[in-house]
Structure 1
Amino acid sequence: MPRFTILVYSDSLTWGIVPTTRRRLAFDDRWPGILEFELNALGLPRPRVIEDCLNGRRTAFDDPYKPGRRALDGVQQVMEAHAPLDLLILLLGTNDFQSMHRHSPWHSASGLAAVVSAARLAPIEPGMPVPPILIVAPPALDTPRGPIAPKFAGGDVASVGLASALRQVADESNCYFFDANSVTTSSRIDGVHLDADQHAQLGRALAPVVA
């Protein structure tokens, strides 16, 4: 029986950082793990959800303090490593609004559009499919709280309109789209990440979309 393989390319919202800590939720408690469980329950053939999620990952912008945080630089190699793929899910954008940047939703959406373009040119082996892409807009930033507050200061204001800008990218680039704001907010604890119950809500909501 064929396997249905999904690659999730994302940041700490998917990595599963526990807000205000450096701990990580278990796979079964992160939204990709919940998505895999729900797809099994829906009868999708042998679903496998692969995560490549890096804390601090931006769309197309450098982190001045940590190397290798540009999604644009890594997406082709990651796709090549895990091919063949049936679906690529991109949940990115939150880190474009860290306080060291002066970005607008247009900047972040343009960065994601570049990631989409690169993904479609990934050097996968001949005969392997170029997977469809599902863009997931992250939940809107709330007022950043706790140890992470200085890193995201002002991001809640600067990022207003991001989901709409990402929806436009999806429309213009023929990608599927899901707005996480339709099912959850950002963390009630730090205003940036996802709490455990919010991971569950997102994973369950994505399952019928992916199926």
Structure 2
Amino acid sequence: MRKTVLCYGDSNTFGLMPDLQSRYPYSVRWTGRLQRELGEKYYVLEEGLGGRTTVWDDPVEMHKNGKTYLLPCLESHRPIDLVILMLGTNDLKERFHVSSFDVGQSIKNLLGCIKGSASGPDLASPEILLVCPVPIRDRGNIDLQRMLGAGFQKSLELDGYLAPLAEEMQVHYLNPGDRVEVSKTDGIHYTEQGHRVMTALMKEKVLEILGDR
């Protein structure tokens, strides 16, 4: 039986290009590459939405609250063997006024929802891989500086909260860090090379978690 891997994230799971309008082809996106490299024994589901937050209602971009859609998403795709959760970058926007600590607590909320969802095989909890967002970089874009403010620095702090959180919640953890290249224009979205590297990192973790089952 094929193993189902649900990738729940934001624009870097969606595959948004650095021009902030276009989408990378399926063959370039890390999710599409992951499907190809894992092969027919796996079913990789893309659930990426640009602007998606963890638990926050966005007053500017509606329908972006990641918690609101999480349980319906899990229920519609069950049974799910592994949920890859990679959110937090959009929480760093100035309009939410949240700290990196708050982002960690919000992700803890989502992890609790997944664990209690009965969306895994035999109505158990699915395995969970928590992925720390790749740090965002200030490339001198005035609009992004206004939107993110201190978010650039906060993004560097997330691993310090998410790594111990993963241990506390007994979920798997991956911190891609600087290994995944982001655009030299916006400093947020992955380059094609970044998607290739993310694929390799994700594949290693997926096989580590599900490979012998």
CA contact (8 A) 2:78 2:119 kept: yes
- In the alignment, what sits opposite 2:56? 61
Over 3 Å counting, the alpha-carbon distance change for 1:55 and 1:92 in structure 2 is same
Give the partner amino acid of 2:205: V
**Which of 84, 93, 97 is the aligned partner of 1:98?**
93
State the superposition RMSD in angstroms.
Answer: 1.9
CA contact (8 A) 2:120 2:126 kept: no
Give the partner amino acid of 2:17: V
Answering whether residue 203 of structure 2 is matched by residue 207 of structure 1, we say yes
Answering whether residue 66 of structure 2 is matched by residue 71 of structure 1, we say yes
Determine helix, strand or coil for the equivalent of 2:122: coil
Give the partner amino acid of 1:54: L
Offset at residue 128 of structure 1 (A)? 3.1
Q: Structure 1 unaligned segments of length 5 or more: list them.
A: none
- In the alignment, what sits opposite 2:42? 47
CA contact (8 A) 2:54 2:67 kept: yes
Partners of 2:107 and 2:163 in 1: how far apart?
A: 11
Offset at residue 121 of structure 1 (A)? 2.0
Over 3 Å counting, the alpha-carbon distance change for 1:126 and 1:49 in structure 2 is closer
CA contact (8 A) 1:58 1:96 kept: yes
Offset at residue 82 of structure 1 (A)? 0.3
Give the number of aligned pairs: 206
Give the partner amino acid of 1:87: L
Over 3 Å counting, the alpha-carbon distance change for 1:125 and 1:21 in structure 2 is closer
Over 3 Å counting, the alpha-carbon distance change for 1:159 and 1:208 in structure 2 is closer
Over 3 Å counting, the alpha-carbon distance change for 1:155 and 1:184 in structure 2 is same
Offset at residue 111 of structure 1 (A)? 0.4
TM-score, normalised with respect to structure 2: 0.89
Offset at residue 144 of structure 1 (A)? 4.8
- In the alignment, what sits opposite 2:161? 165
CA contact (8 A) 1:77 1:122 kept: no
- In the alignment, what sits opposite 1:184? 180
1:135-184 deviations in Å (ceiling 9; x for gaps): 01111111055454432233112333101211111111001000011522
Deviates more, 1:25-34 or 1:149-158: 149-158
- In the alignment, what sits opposite 2:12? 13
CA contact (8 A) 1:144 1:156 kept: no
1:6-29 deviations in Å (ceiling 9; x for gaps): 000000011111112300011221
Partners of 2:22 and 2:86 in 1: how far apart?
A: 20
Offset at residue 79 of structure 1 (A)? 0.5
The structure that is helix-richer by fraction is 2
- Structure with more relative contact order (C-alpha pairs < 8 Å, separation 6 or more): 1
Among the aligned pairs, what percent are the same residue? 27
Partners of 2:85 and 2:173 in 1: how far apart?
A: 10
**Which of 130, 133, 151 is the aligned partner of 1:138?**
133
- In the alignment, what sits opposite 1:32? 31
Q: Structure 2 unaligned segments of length 5 or more: list them.
A: 208-213
Determine helix, strand or coil for the equivalent of 1:107: helix
TM-score, normalised with respect to structure 1: 0.90
Offset at residue 123 of structure 1 (A)? 5.5
Partners of 2:153 and 2:68 in 1: how far apart?
A: 28
Determine helix, strand or coil for the equivalent of 1:29: coil
